[in-house]
Chains A and B, each alone.
Chain A
Amino acid sequence: MSEAFTKSMARNIFYGGAFFFLLLFLALTFDTINALPKLDNRAALESPVGPQIAKGKHLWEVNNCIGCHTLLGEGAYFAPELGNVYKRYGSNLDAVKGRIKGLISLPAEGIPMRRMPRFKFTDEEIAALAEFLKYASEINTSGWPPNDQG
């Protein structure tokens, strides 16, 4: 066995390297957290519709929307991207609400295509979801997606 390459040195490089890059990652994280207020549309969260957005995000989660859709490109690839759906529908909240309402009230049988589950949302809940999607569309995503189709 070649003594030029010792196990203890390999181990030290692992510990040193891991620690070093962890520190660097934490430093970048720190900078990111400080930079986020300019990018993440938190003004909307602090505005009067803030509670509605929070409710919308909660509804988004407890109905597992991410199980079919992507949001800012993350999620499942079965159904359209919704991070920019507000813009796709002409930046019009009523259009988004109408679309959701239409999709969840299609008949259960006889439509041989990808289906959205027939969620029983109230009008307030649909409004909250729409506000959440509007908030998401106004996050600064460095120009992604390339076009309105998502």
Chain B
Amino acid sequence: MQYQSQKVAIPYFVGAIVLFVAQILFGLIMGLQYVMGDFLFPEIPFNVARMVHTNALIVWLLMGFMGAAYYLVPEEAETELHSPFLAKLMFWVFFAAAGLTVAGYLLVPYSTLADITGNELLPTMGREFLEQPTITKIGIVVVALAFLYNLGMTILRGRKTAINLVLMIGLVGLAVLFLFSFYNPTNLVLDKFFWWWVVHLWVEGVWELILGSILAFVLIKVTGVDREIIEKWLYIIIAMAFISGIIGTGHHFFWIGTPEYWQWWGSIFSALEPIPFFMMTIFAFSMVKQRRRNHPNRVATLWALGASVMAFLGAGVWGFMHTLSPVNYYTHGSQLTAAHGHMAFYGAYVMIVLTIISYAMPLLRGRTAANSERQQTLEIWSFWLMTIAMTLITLFLTAAGILQVWLQRVLDSPLPFMAAQDQLTVFYWMREFAGVMFLIGLLLYIASFFVGDKEPEASVKTIA
């Protein structure tokens, strides 16, 4: 850490991990509801648990991105942050808004929440992932604007690197596209069409820029490879991400009342979407191979490599599996979608946030380069537990999805939805056990911040 103001990243990282825990706990509740339908009914119905699960994920990833930006932008720009106070203030605004929203989800029925928060004035609630009350959405916009202002002023004053610029483009794009969440016409097709402008163009568009720039930053730090080379890779990867991903939005326009040509456009371009992720894997591994130094923070390197592999598997391979329209005709809206969603979010975004936390947190807490040997060993365990657990979750959901599609959509006399679900119980149980394994991994991860934090730092020599 070179600049005092980078410390504002700490609350963002801590807040992100707190919400991460909430996300996983509610995920386990949902997993149990899949096999014990009336679990916690009527206190926490499935839809409420799901809102907490998905919204907590989105918010903690955003917090992670913000923390990452507050950490890396000053270092890249070689100047202190424009206003550390504004950054801290916005953290508390954001965290309070997230907490109040989750409390609202849990304490009152959703329709009451809509009433209290004045959804009538500008109805935006009740659409997947955008369930937040309209005032929370406005709050997110305010936080995002303050955040972009703060970073923008910092970059304007300092050095303008490719990493900073790409990160800024990603974050500005994120904020701009979020504005489409305020558009909610009665026409269902228009509603869905532009809903994807938020959802798809986030996760398969501008977020990839954020992902790429964080990965590039960490790789420069841990490998010591020349910035020119890394930034060149970064540009080519994000160019491919946009070339494939923008028109790739079309893979959501197959069956929602949009013209049929999207089946061609969407299939062709989304078939190319694995390419940037594949390039990212090659990039990460070749940079580590060409490293000019061994960094004592080996677990950060592990997260970076892991993110590149899991993002390729989850977003690339599992996405490709059902992206072609003739396949998607059968798999659309099945457990296969859930399988892909889980691994893609974990691989691409959860892991990149954990990468930057893993790299930055030791420095923010006063270490010169890395955590102690014991902390790192624990964190490596948590890496493998969470990653293997997520792989298992994905595999079990894939099995469930294939069987579901077969029973409910392919058979000559197809089963009704609930009858098909009954046949999948065994996979849902296995998924739930994998979920418990994930939680154990997460608890170990948190423990790695406290166990052995008084011990001396790991040094390069101690690495075999």
Q: Do chains A and B touch in the complex (CB under 8 A)?
A: yes
A92 at the interface (CB under 8 A from B): no
Contact check, B239 vs A18: say whether CB atoms are below 8 A apart.
Answer: yes
Contact check, B417 vs A150: say whether CB atoms are below 8 A apart.
Answer: yes
Contact check, A75 vs B409: say whether CB atoms are below 8 A apart.
Answer: no
- Number of residues from A at the complex interface, CB < 8 A: 70
Contact check, A117 vs B333: say whether CB atoms are below 8 A apart.
Answer: no
A115 at the interface (CB under 8 A from B): yes
Smallest beta-carbon distance B431→chain A, Å: 12
Contact check, B332 vs A40: say whether CB atoms are below 8 A apart.
Answer: no
Contact check, A40 vs B257: say whether CB atoms are below 8 A apart.
Answer: yes
What are the interface flags for B247-277 relative to A under an 8 Å C-beta threshold, 1 for contact and 0 otherwise? 1011001111111101101000000000000
A5 to B334, CA, bound (A): 44
Contact check, A79 vs B41: say whether CB atoms are below 8 A apart.
Answer: no
Q: Which residues of A contact B334 (CB under 8 A)?
A: 77
Smallest beta-carbon distance B428→chain A, Å: 11
Smallest beta-carbon distance A82→chain B, Å: 10
CB neighbors of B among A1-20 (8 A): 1, 5-7, 10-11, 13-14, 17-18
Of the candidates B41, B184, B337, which one forms a contact with A77 in the assembled complex, judged by CB atoms under 8 Å apart? B337
B51 at the interface (CB under 8 A from A): yes
Smallest beta-carbon distance B420→chain A, Å: 8
Contact check, B332 vs A144: say whether CB atoms are below 8 A apart.
Answer: yes
Residue in chain A with minimal CB distance to B124: A61
A118 to B329, CA, bound (A): 33
CB neighbors of B among A56-97 (8 A): 57-58, 60-68, 70-81
A115 to B44, CA, bound (A): 11
Contact check, B417 vs A80: say whether CB atoms are below 8 A apart.
Answer: yes
Residue in chain B with minimal CB distance to A80: B417
- Say yes or no: A25-B247 contact (C-beta < 8 A), given A7-B235, A13-B236, A73-B333: yes
A102 at the interface (CB under 8 A from B): no
Q: Which residues of A contact B109 (CB under 8 A)?
A: 117
B246 at the interface (CB under 8 A from A): yes
A108 to B421, CA, bound (A): 22
A24 at the interface (CB under 8 A from B): yes
Among B30-38, B69-77, B138-146, the stretch in contact with A? B30-38
What are the interface flags for B329-370 relative to A under an 8 Å C-beta threshold, 1 for contact and 0 otherwise? 110111101100000000000000000000000000000000
What are the interface flags for B116-156 relative to A under an 8 Å C-beta threshold, 1 for contact and 0 otherwise? 00010001011110010000000000000000000000000
Q: Which residues of A contact B114 (CB under 8 A)?
A: 61-62
Contact check, B239 vs A142: say whether CB atoms are below 8 A apart.
Answer: no
Of the candidates B36, B189, B238, which one forms a contact with A39 in the assembled complex, judged by CB atoms under 8 Å apart? B189
Q: Which residues of A contact B337 (CB under 8 A)?
A: 77
Contact check, A76 vs B418: say whether CB atoms are below 8 A apart.
Answer: no
Q: Which residues of A contact B110 (CB under 8 A)?
A: 62-64, 67
Of the candidates B51, B123, B162, B250, which one forms a contact with A11 in the assembled complex, judged by CB atoms under 8 Å apart? B162
Q: Which residues of A contact B37 (CB under 8 A)?
A: 112-115
Residue in chain B with minimal CB distance to A28: B265
Smallest beta-carbon distance A49→chain B, Å: 12
Contact check, B417 vs A79: say whether CB atoms are below 8 A apart.
Answer: yes
Chain B contacts to A: CB under 8 angstroms:
30, 33-34, 36-38, 41-42, 45-48, 50-51, 109-111, 114, 119, 123, 125-128, 131, 162, 184, 186-190, 192-193, 226, 228-229, 231-232, 235-236, 238-239, 242-243, 246-247, 249-250, 253-260, 262-263, 265, 329-330, 332-335, 337-338, 408-410, 414-418, 420-421
Additional A-B contacts beyond A14-B239, A112-B36, A149-B408 (15; CB < 8 A): A5-B232, A10-B239, A28-B265, A42-B187, A54-B186, A58-B123, A65-B47, A67-B51, A77-B337, A78-B34, A115-B37, A142-B254, A144-B254, A146-B409, A150-B417
Please list 30 pairs of residues, one from A and one from B, whose beta carbons are closer than 8 Å in the complex, sorted by A's number.
Answer: A6-B232, A7-B231, A11-B162, A14-B238, A17-B242, A21-B243, A21-B247, A22-B242, A28-B265, A31-B259, A32-B253, A32-B259, A40-B190, A58-B123, A62-B110, A62-B123, A66-B126, A67-B128, A75-B333, A76-B128, A77-B333, A80-B417, A108-B41, A112-B36, A114-B38, A117-B42, A135-B188, A140-B257, A142-B263, A143-B329
